[in-house]
Amino acid sequence: MPRLVMKFGGTSVANLDRIRRVAKRVGVEVAKGYDVIVVVSAMSGKTNELVGWVGETGAFYDAREYDAVVSSGENVTAGLLALTLQENGIDARSWQGWQVPVQTNSSHSSARIAAIPSDNLDAKFAGGMRVAVVAGFQGISPEGRITTLGRGGSDTTAVAFAAAFDAERCDIYTDVDGVYTTDPRITSKARKLDRIAFEEMLELASLGAKVLQTRSVELAMRYKVKLRVLSSFEEMSDDAGTLVCDEEDIMESNVVAGVAFSRDEAKMTLVSVADRPGVSAAIFGPLAEAGVNVDMIVQNIAEDGRTDMTFSLPVDQVARAEKAVRDAMARAEINFHDLIADEGVSKVSVVGIGMRSHAGVAARMFKALSAEGINIKVITTSEIKISVLIDRKYMELAVQALHDAFELEKV
């Protein structure tokens, strides 16, 4: 029988009534003739509660025990959904990560999937099981310990199962009915996309869109897994949601597919750094070791052998970054005259595969921002993306202006 993977997030399984609703959706797909693998998250709020409990035990907890605790939320959901499906007359069984097994590396709380052998589930499907309810977000390390994949890891679990079992499609059920041209809470003109290319979705996810976890999109693109994002609270239909697929599966793309934003960014500048070979490595090496996620980087034109180095980073990592570069200066690895941190900026980006073959996108973007009196602090580009750093107070205005400038409300 054909295989289908369905993933349900925390809001979709927040209580027993919603779990019953999920069971009915799964039953519809079983009636169509699919063997179904359902990947579930913990009930809404449960993972945060478990993480909080772990934190209360002490600041320096054992990451292995952290994984043992926080993975338990998905186990509860999987068991409850399996029981509900059984009550509906569907042969279903719950599976924890170690039972499948979902084999991962040993990086506790941020593990990566190494392999998913299909033997166990294949044997059960051959024996009459119609639905395997898999606890998402978790696996087992080579040492036999429970691991977790990081926040949002259930999306990655679902895509990995779709790839491992050659599923026809992977349906990701959330509390939104698809992927939009931007956040509808910022502009009412935001439009739901029928289809979006993997590359566009990957850029949008990495730039702040919260619909899909970045790793899940990377995995889907690598293994050509068709993803469909849809709401568990809307009526079911064949054309519901947004299909994330290969560029070749889209008849014709708009120049820009969407506007993404990251609200809580910061800009840091090292003033008057020596302009010599190796200075960039001397700066960004310690930042990487400190776990600082550097994004946009700009180096000014050198003058008298000195230059300024500017980069963006999440605002909650500013203190860590300052310590890293000052420690590097104390070790005489780098030298600078001043360190300036601006914690009041946001990143706004336009994304679209159509940008590859259309000129003037940057000019159109900058003109729209200029018309609203918005000053650009930093610019970076890629083949299908242009990002700018601006004052945070103008972020929503910038998103609205760019959405209008590229006429994203139009099909």
Element (H, E) at 248: none
- Residues 12 and 157 occupy one common structural domain: yes
Number of domains composing the chain: 2
d(CA 159, CA 6): 9
Angle formed by the axes of helices 72-87 and 16-31, nearest 10°: 60
Residues 300 and 152 in one domain: no
Q: Cα–Cα distance between 260 and 349 in angstroms, integer?
A: 5
- Interior/surface letters 380-397, b for 16+ CB within 10 angstroms, e for the rest: beeebbbbbbbebebbbb
**Encoded tokens for 371:** 């018309």
Q: Are strands 242-245 and 227-231 parallel, antiparallel or unpaired?
A: antiparallel
Distance (Å, whole) CA 147 – CA 112: 9
Q: Which residues, at least 6 apart from 339, have a Cβ–Cβ distance to it below 8 Å? A: 268, 269, 270, 271, 322, 325, 326
Q: What is the pLDDT of residue 248?
A: 80
Q: Is residue 314 part of a domain?
A: yes
Q: What is the number of alpha carbons within 13 Å of residue 318 lying toward its C-beta?
A: 17
Supply the DSSP symbol for 170: E
- Pair 278, 154 in one domain: no
Query: How do strand 385-391 and strand 338-351 relate by DSSP bridges?
Result: antiparallel
Task: Say if residues 113 and 101 touch (Cβ distance below 8 Å).
Answer: no
In a domain, 247, yes or no: no
For residue 11, the one-letter residue type is T
170 shares a domain with 34: yes
Same domain membership, residue 266 and residue 137: no
Whether residues 158 and 268 share a domain: the answer is no
User: Would residue 227 count as lying in a domain?
Assistant: no
CB 257 within 8 A of CB 411: no
| CATH code where residue 154 lies | 3.40.1160.10
Instruction: Classify residue 166 as exposed, middle or buried by CB count within 10 Å of its CB (0-12, 13-18, 19+).
Output: exposed
Nearest CA among 333, 340, 341, 323 for reference residue 274: 333
Looking up residue 313, the CATH number of its domain turns out to be 3.30.2130.10
* Tally of CB atoms within 10 A around 8: 28
Q: Are 392 and 314 in contact (CB under 8 A)?
A: no
- Note whether 165 and 272 are same-domain residues: no
Same domain, 158 and 23: yes
One domain for residues 10 and 137:
yes
The crossing angle, in degrees rounded to 10, of helices 214-223 and 198-206 is 160
Q: Does 86 map to a domain? A: yes
pLDDT at 158: 97
33: left (phi over 0), alpha (psi -120 to 50) or beta: left
- Domain stop point among 175, 198, 223: 175
9 and 153 housed in the same domain: yes
Q: pLDDT value at position 252? A: 65
Query: Which residue range is the domain that position 13 belongs to?
Result: 3-175
Exposed, middle or buried: residue 111 (CB in 10 Å: 0-12, 13-18, 19+)?
Answer: buried
> Structure tokens of 250?
């889209």
pLDDT, position 209: 65
Q: Are residues 267 and 392 in the same domain?
A: yes
User: What is the tens place of the pLDDT at every residue in 231-264?
Assistant: 888 777 767 889 998 888 776 667 899 999 999 9
Please indicate, yes or no, if residue 242 is contained in any of the structural domains: no
CB-facing half-sphere around the CA of 179: CA atoms within 13 A: 32
Strands (E), 13-75: 35-40
pLDDT at 350: 95
For strand 378-382 and strand 385-391, is the pairing parallel, antiparallel, or unpaired?
Answer: antiparallel
d(CA 54, CA 46): 13
* Residue 108, in any domain of the structure: yes
Same domain, residue pair 154 and 284: no
Domain boundary among 175, 190, 213: 175
Residue 411 maps to a domain: no
| 209 in a structural domain | no
The list of the chain residues with pLDDT below 70 reads 208-210, 238, 251-253
Residue where a domain terminates, one of 133, 155, 175 = 175
Measuring CA to CA, which residue among 5, 379, 331, 360 is closest to residue 159? 5
